Amino acid sequence: MKKKIALTGIKPTGIPHLGNYLGAIKPAIELTKNYDALYFIADYHAVNSIRDAKILREMIYEVAATWLACGLDPEKTVLYQQSAIPETFELSTFLMAFTPKGLMNRAHAYKAMVQKNTLNKKDVDDGVNIGLFTYPILMAADILQFDSDVVPVGGDQAQHLEMAIDIAQSINHNYGTELLKIPQPLIRKNTGIVTGLDGRKMSKSYDNTIPLFLPPKKLRKLIMKIVTNSQTIDEPKNPDECNVFALYKLFADENQISEMRQKYEAGGMGWGHAKQELFELINAHLSPYRDKYNELMQNKNYIDKILEDGSVRAREIVVQKMKFIRQNIGLFSK
Ligand code: ADP
Ligand code: TRP
């Protein structure tokens, strides 16, 4: 029997961080055991914010190397670059014809810009480009072009996936046939939203991230910056309200979690100590991946080859799908 398809993308906007790893990369790599997986680097999505050619090029390598370092097997999984499939942008144009502007008005990223502008008494659309406004449509094209069954993402992408489903459903309804497969979001409960240094969602846009492959010294320094309250060493502490514990839980096993919980509740453990334990846990987990990552970043020709090969394989599927769509919407005869 043919396996189901899993698809996800990451924007090359900086070295991936723990949120990307736990919310998207790790679950996505686990899925490759049972699914035909297609994972990609959302480079045209990144152009909305990265306008320096050299930096973008480097960031594409960083994201590709991260996927490979974290265990993606390029023989089994297709790793490709979004921009290498021109048909995605054709599909995106088709989807636009079915996307109400009101739906895009409600997209989180756009709404946040409007709110910020309103607060600052600026024009509501100040600094908003159409690429940002239509971001969810391009993302829908990424997904729908492969008849993807599941899309592993972090909780922050739930709305984008609902929009992709909405658009696909209205197209299917219009043509009276399943022109596009309805995808299913796959959002892990416990790692839905990983918190950053300041307790907000870990995100490159908030500058509160812990990048995956920092050298140990820098990693430790950053972990020491996690915001905690001002309780003294002796005081018992509530682990469930603590940013350090929130991250600790994501890397520790059951025993480690309950031991740490006891240390919090008993009092006598200072924040420096809790952070040191967190550092040791994360560092041990990431060390082997970091070595692999550094090795790959020294071997960009190899990464180029993987991406080229993946892009050819991915495009073959999309070319067929677009042919099917063109015929079924009346652009060409069947
Ligand atoms: P960022 O918000 O830092 O720009 P991206 O938008 O490139 O990150 O996210 C890439 C993937 O990582 C998406 O699947 C997204 O849902 C996931 N992700 C990003 N931040 C987090 C987070 N803090 N917790 C869980 N998943 C996250
Ligand atoms: N929008 C996603 C993010 O910011 C990246 C992305 C682009 C994506 N296209 C996608 C994720 C398709 C899943 C499926 O994280």
pLDDT in tens, 115-161: 999 999 999 999 999 999 999 999 999 999 999 999 999 888 999 99
Tokens of 241: 């309200």
Ligand 1 pocket: which of 31, 156, 204 to mutate (most atoms within 8 A of CB): 156
CA–CA dist 163, 98 (Å, integer): 11
CA–CA dist 37, 112 (Å, integer): 32
For residue 19 and ligand 1, the question of a CB distance below 6 A is answered with yes
The band of 191, judged by pLDDT with boundaries at 50, 70 and 90, is low
Strand partners, 6: 37, 150
The band of 23, judged by pLDDT with boundaries at 50, 70 and 90, is confident
For residue 171 and ligand 1, the question of a CB distance below 6 A is answered with no
Q: Are 247 and 278 in contact (CB under 8 A)?
A: yes
pTM confidence score: 0.93
Strand partners, 7: 38
For residue 26 and ligand 1, the question of a CB distance below 6 A is answered with no
Cα of 216 vs centre of ligand 2, distance in Å, is 29
pLDDT in tens, 80-108: 999 999 999 999 999 999 999 999 999 99
For residue 263 and ligand 1, the question of a CB distance below 6 A is answered with no
For residue 157 and ligand 1, the question of a CB distance below 6 A is answered with yes
**Number of neighbouring beta carbons within 10 Å of residue 280:** 13
Which ligand 2 atom is the nearest neighbour of the CA of 148?
Answer: 14
Q: Which ligand is nearest to the CA of 247?
A: 1
Cα of 265 vs centre of ligand 2, distance in Å, is 39
For residue 187 and ligand 1, the question of a CB distance below 6 A is answered with no
pLDDT in tens, 46-77: 999 999 999 999 999 999 999 999 999 999 99
Cα of 295 vs centre of ligand 2, distance in Å, is 27
CA–CA dist 154, 315 (Å, integer): 26
Q: Which ligand is nearest to the CA of 63?
A: 1
CA–CA dist 290, 177 (Å, integer): 47
For residue 202 and ligand 1, the question of a CB distance below 6 A is answered with yes
